[in-house]
């Protein structure tokens, strides 16, 4: 009986969350935007990630929408190669000194039934802002046994042309401009 009451209370709590917009704080230790980029026109694919992020998601499940704001520390780029990390942070590519943050702002979240399916938004990179939508590949919320509150996780995908953001280095040598993003993120519901 006690177990049934606890389960009912948890179900009620989750149903209550579904009735109003809730804010989730992204967990920096569980949020890593990663990317793939071409090296020498198909010679290899370089993969890297950004290790310092912060942000919030507002999720309105009742009205099936939401917003998102994420700030990525440009200097936290890591491709597993110290010399290449330095090149990426330099004025030649990401110019981390002049543009210390990459920002993504999602103005709406499109749902497919009860599940978020796409974030409609824009990316600001190297001082240039362009539309960029994120396709939500997986999405799950659960009651965290560690944090004793709801946590939601997502895997989101996108791609863009780096030249659109002024990152033109080595394009004249045949490097492909396409960047693929894969963003894993987890957020904890804010409590008062």
CATH code at position 173: 2.40.128.110
Query: pLDDT band for position 6 (50/70/90)?
Result: very low
- Region 57-77: mean pLDDT is 96
Residue 14 lies in a domain: no
pLDDT at 124: 98
Residue 130 lies in a domain: yes
pLDDT at 10: 43
Lowest mean pLDDT among 11-25, 50-64, 112-126: 11-25
Residue 3 lies in a domain: no
Residue whose C-alpha is closest to residue 102's, from 49, 139, 138, 30: 49
Residue 15 lies in a domain: no
- Region 34-40: mean pLDDT is 95
pLDDT at 191: 86
pLDDT at 20: 84
- Region 27-47: mean pLDDT is 95
For residue 130, the enclosing domain spans 20-189
Residue 161 lies in a domain: yes
Tens digit of pLDDT for each residue in 68-85? 999 999 999 999 999 999
CB hemisphere CA count around 31 (13 angstroms): 24
Residue 154 lies in a domain: yes
pLDDT at 16: 44
Note the pTM of the prediction, 2 decimals. 0.86
Domain count, the chain: 1
CB atoms within 10 A of CB 187: 24
pLDDT at 110: 97
pLDDT at 1: 43
Residue 13 lies in a domain: no
pLDDT at 192: 72
Q: For the chain, what is the HEC assignment? A: CHHHHHHHHHHHHHHHHHHCCEEEEECHHHCEEEEEEEECCCCEEEEEEECCEEEEEEEECCCCEEEEEEEEEHHHEECCCHHHHHHHHCCCCCCCCCCCEEEEEEEEEEEECCEEEEEEEEEEECCEEEECCEEEEEEEEEECCCCCCEEEEEEEEEEEEHHHHCCCCCHHHCCCCEEEEEEEEEEEECCC
pLDDT at 12: 39
- Region 136-164: mean pLDDT is 96
Is residue 167 pLDDT above 50, yes or no? yes
């Amino acid at each position: 009986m006690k177990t049934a009451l606890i389960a009912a209370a948890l179900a009620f709590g989750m149903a209550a969350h579904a009735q109003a917009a809730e804010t989730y704080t992204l967990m920096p230790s569980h949020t890593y935007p990663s990317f793939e980029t071409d090296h020498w026109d198909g010679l290899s694919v370089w993969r890297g990630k950004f290790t310092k992020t912060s942000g919030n998601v507002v999720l309105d499940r009742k009205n099936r929408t939401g917003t998102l704001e994420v700030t990525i520390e440009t200097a936290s780029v890591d491709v597993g190669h110290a010399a290449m990390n330095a090149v990426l942070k330099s004025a030649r590519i990401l110019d981390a000194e002049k543009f210390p943050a990459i920002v993504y702002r999602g103005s709406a979240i499109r749902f497919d039934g009860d599940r978020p399916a796409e974030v409609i938004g824009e990316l600001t990179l190297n001082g240039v802002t362009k539309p960029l939508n994120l396709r939500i590949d997986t999405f799950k919320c659960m009651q965290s046994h560690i944090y004793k509150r709801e946590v939601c996780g997502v895997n989101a995908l996108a791609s863009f042309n780096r030249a659109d953001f002024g990152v033109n280095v080595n394009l004249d040598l045949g490097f492909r401009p396409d960047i693929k993003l894969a963003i894993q993120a987890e957020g904890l519901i804010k409590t008062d």
